[in-house]
Each structure stands twice: as C-alpha cells, then as structure tokens.
Structure 1
Amino acid sequence: MSFLATRQALADAASTVPGVKGYTTKPNTVSPGDAWPLIGSIERGPAYAFQVTWRVLVILSGNEDTAIEQLDELTDPLFAAINPVAFVDRADLTKTDGDLFAISITCRSE
C-alpha cells in the first residue's frame, strides 16, 4: 500500500470510532475528536520492503483529568480500529498545539 493510501486508511479507521473524525492531514483548526496520521520513520526491511512507523494523533478536550478519562475511553476502540491497517505498538498522552492534550498512537505498516 502506498504512503498516501495508508494515510487515508488510517484516517478512515479512526473515523469509525464514535466521537473521532479522521483526516489525512492536520485540519487548519483542530477540535476535540479530530485525528490525523503523521509519518514517523521509514526503514528498509530485509526483503527491501519499507516499514513505516506512523503516529496517529487524536485531540482530546479539557484539562489533564478529562484527557485521561478520554484516553481510557478511546484507547481500546482506537487500537481495534487501527490495527487492521497498521500494527499498533503503543499510545501516549501528549500535548500538541500549545496546551491541547492528545493521544499519540504509534503503529507500523509495510
């Protein structure tokens, strides 16, 4: 699958989770529930295939306590939605765009 096709598939997968809207690129104005994939790294494997590490960011709302509650609610459904597209390694609570909390899901595809 091409990088563009994988990016679209990741955005579509995120959109299957209630309350999450997947985009192929970061929206100009982000809102809670917005999600988009970013290429993290590209490595060549033993068969000369590329393995791509992706990060899927999902914007959360509120303060840290609210963000942790949303992390708890969204982690399982996001992993289940994304895993058929790319192998999910982990999720981290992070900040983006200043003070916005986000889930950063790290996953790998070929």
Structure 2
Amino acid sequence: TSAPTSTTVAPSNTTMAPTSTTMAPTTTTMAPATSTTAAPTTTAVCVDTANDCQLFMPLCFVQPYSRTIQSRCKRTCNVCDCRDNANDCAPMVSYCLDPRYQPVFRSRCALTCGFC
C-alpha cells in the first residue's frame, strides 16, 4: 500500500494594493439660445405713376391697353397685387382670351392678360 501524501500549500506573499479611481468632475456649459427674426417684408406702395389715370380708368381691362394702363395706374385699376406667375407671358398674349387656354393664363399671366 502506498503511504498517504499530503500537500501543503504555502501562503502567498502577494498582496494586492488597494486601488482608487478618482473621476474628474464633469462640467457642461450650454451656449445661450439664439433667436432668428425674419427681416420685415416690404410691400410696394400702391400708387398711380401717371397723372391721367382717372381718364383711362374705363380701359383698365380692355385689350390691348390694359397692360400699359395697369402698370401706370395700379391704384386706379385696383391691381396692386396683380402679377404674372410666369416669365413667358408677353410673347403668348394672343392666347389670353382663347377659351381653350384662358384658365391657364388667368393663373399664370393675370397681369399681362389684363385679368386683374
């Protein structure tokens, strides 16, 4: 038979050094809120630039005079907000009163066609 064996574990001389973790304080800086204000819009003054607008008032909406009279007599013709919404109205003025195209020209070329 064999003799019993004994195993002895010697104590370790390893010591653990205590650890410490120091966290730096966190600082959050917020920039002040900024606001944006839209620039005021300017509306063109509704005035007549011709002296004889009252005389030509009956022609405010009569072709071929309406375009010229409305541009010079905006207040008298009551067309201060009247404008074209397209850039190519002048060359197509002959289509303004054509029933097939009139709805389009009323919305896109109101000033040129004399609809307002």
- TM bucket, shorter chain: under 0.3
**Structure ID, larger Rg:** 2
Higher relative contact order (CA 8 A, sep 6+): 1
TM-score w.r.t. the length of structure 2 is 0.20
